[in-house]
Amino acid sequence: MNIGRIKAIFVTGFKSYLIYIFIFAIVIFAIQVPREKENIEEFSNDNFGLEKTKQDRVALIESGENAVLVRLNLIENAQKSLDISYHSLIEGKSTEILLGSILDAADRGVGVRVLSDGVFHGFTGNLKEALYGLGSHPNIKMRLYEPLKLLLPWNWNNRLHDKIIIADEKLALIGGRNIGDKYFREDVMQDRFVKDRDVIIYKDESLEDPASVIEDMENYYNRIWNHRYTKPAIKKLTSKQKTKGEVFNDNLRHRYMEIKAEHLQDNTETDWYKKTMATESVKFVYNPIGRVNQDPWCLRQLLFLSSRAEESIFIQSPYIIPSRNMKAKFGQYDLDLEKITMLTNSVSSSPNPMGIAGYFNNKKDIIDNGVKLYEYQGPDSIHSKTYIFDDTISVIGSFNLDARSSYINSESMVVISSKEFTRNLKEEIQVELNNSLIVDKDYSYIENEDVEEGHVSTPKKIMIFFLSKLAWFLDYLL
């Protein structure tokens, strides 16, 4: 067989593979319609409200510095178990410190499970050796959700997007932050810093009925951990990988002890009862686990709460990209759009070109429907996913207002009924609103002498314009 013939066969095969990818990674998500289904145990129609929820105590974690200290506190003070789930870990000092604290917890006998996304988990480059080191520890188990398989393109899009830590089944942390310096180190990252928020949940065992939403979170974690789509991070280490892992662990222990001695001496056990506030109820909501489009449980919960709001609805999401399927779902609920205030990134503040391009396509409709729209002006960006209904109900978690969070990714959030917590949350959000501009009915900004419009370079404007054309066809994947 001559070289030309081999080349022709290769080209034909490659073209066939691209068509195969196009059909099963892109087209199938456009044509497949999810069937509504109920989780009888935890997601009955009655449970869409707040009638069957738990009265845990909660605290808002707002600043990046507090966010990393709280994570360290949970890990360092765990006695029996740590269940950790994150979409991605980004190499940097914050990640090194947190991995060091996990290794230290395992060394003292805590059983640790670490669950990450199979594509965006971050255990690459130098962190690959962290996978070898932590994965070889007898008290640490590591698994990946939907590892990338080149011949199964229908599993490329359904990603694990949860951000959860559960310690001893008594404390839990949930929010929108991934693990990386850009979420924790505002002084270092500056204009690349990403603003986000978390909620700490404390099981109040002093109550007559100490049933906790943390039990629901633990059940959900176990479902994903044991799911057939979740695989061991490493099946078997080679002798070379074991050696690299041992060296990594030794270096990490030494580095962590240095950092702890210098910066973390006072990170002792916290009286979380005093640090948290009482609630009327806390409810945990999550998306179904599956491939292709799934029944949008998180979206349905938010729409249900919106339909019951009497005075106001507040939505904060880094990307607001209502797809055609989402808009059809909106139509199934009695929504007063003029009650809605939205806060999202501006073109200048957003670090996600495709996400802001998808939003760009919907901005006019949002304004035309009477929504009050704020755009954050930076120089950093917002990544928080926050929803508030009247002055009573707050929702915080990993859910973005887009099709990917609605139908494709694993997502989770907590619905908190508490006027005190909502008041605290609104005060923090006001800080971001004070650095935002309102979009007027003609789609320009209403002038505010206290807020300077963020600069957008000409290349970024051009890129967003062209990406918006592509985003119009692919909004169901954004």
CA-atom Rg of the chain in angstroms: 23
| pLDDT score of 440 | 96
Residue type, 456: V
Whole-number Cα distances in Å, 299 to 35, 402, 413: 14, 9, 11
Measured from the Cβ of residue 440, the count of other Cβ atoms closer than 10 Å reads: 12
CA atoms within 13 A on the CB side of 182: 15
Gap between the terminal Cα atoms of the chain:
45
Helix (H, G, I), strand (E, B) or coil at 173: strand
CA–CA gap between residue 286 and residue 405 (Å, rounded): 10
Nearest to 62 by CA among 239, 198, 228, 156: 198
Q: Where are the beta strands (DSSP E) in 5-78?
A: 57-61
DSSP 8-state class, residue 207: S
Please list the pLDDT of the chain residue by residue as tens digits (478 residues): 678 787 888 888 888 889 989 999 899 999 998 877 655 344 433 444 454 568 899 999 999 999 999 999 999 999 999 999 999 898 888 999 999 999 999 999 999 999 999 887 777 777 888 889 998 999 999 999 999 888 889 889 999 999 999 999 999 999 999 999 999 998 888 889 999 999 999 998 877 777 899 999 999 999 999 999 999 988 888 888 888 889 999 999 999 988 877 766 666 678 899 999 999 999 999 999 999 999 999 999 999 999 999 999 999 999 899 999 999 999 999 999 999 999 999 999 999 999 999 999 999 999 999 999 999 998 999 999 999 999 999 999 999 999 999 999 999 999 999 999 999 999 999 999 999 999 999 999 999 999 999 999 999 999 999 999 999 999 999 9
CA atoms within 13 A on the CB side of 333: 18
| pLDDT score of 39 | 52
- What does the angle CA 343 – CA 348 – CA 353 come to, to the nearest 5 degrees? 90
Q: List, in order, residues 6 or more apart from 383 with CB less than 8 Å away.
A: 176, 177, 183, 194, 195, 196, 318
Nearest to 95 by CA among 66, 70, 130: 130
Helix (H, G, I), strand (E, B) or coil at 288: coil
**What φ, ψ does residue 433 adopt, rounded to 5°?**
-65, -30
| pLDDT score of 265 | 60
CA–CA gap between residue 325 and residue 477 (Å, rounded): 11
**Which strands form 436-438's sheet, in the order they lie side by side?**
281-286, 412-417, 393-397, 386-389, 313-316, 340-345, 372-376, 436-438
| pLDDT score of 40 | 38
- Do 213 and 201 contact (CB within 8 A), yes or no? yes
| pLDDT score of 264 | 63
Whole-number Cα distances in Å, 210 to 59, 172, 205, 207, 283: 18, 15, 5, 5, 14
Burial status of residue 46 (CB atoms within 10 A of its CB: 0-12, 13-18, 19 or more): exposed
CA–CA gap between residue 64 and residue 428 (Å, rounded): 13
| Beta bridge pairs of residue 115 | 85, 143
| pLDDT score of 43 | 42
CA–CA gap between residue 78 and residue 207 (Å, rounded): 22
| pLDDT score of 268 | 67
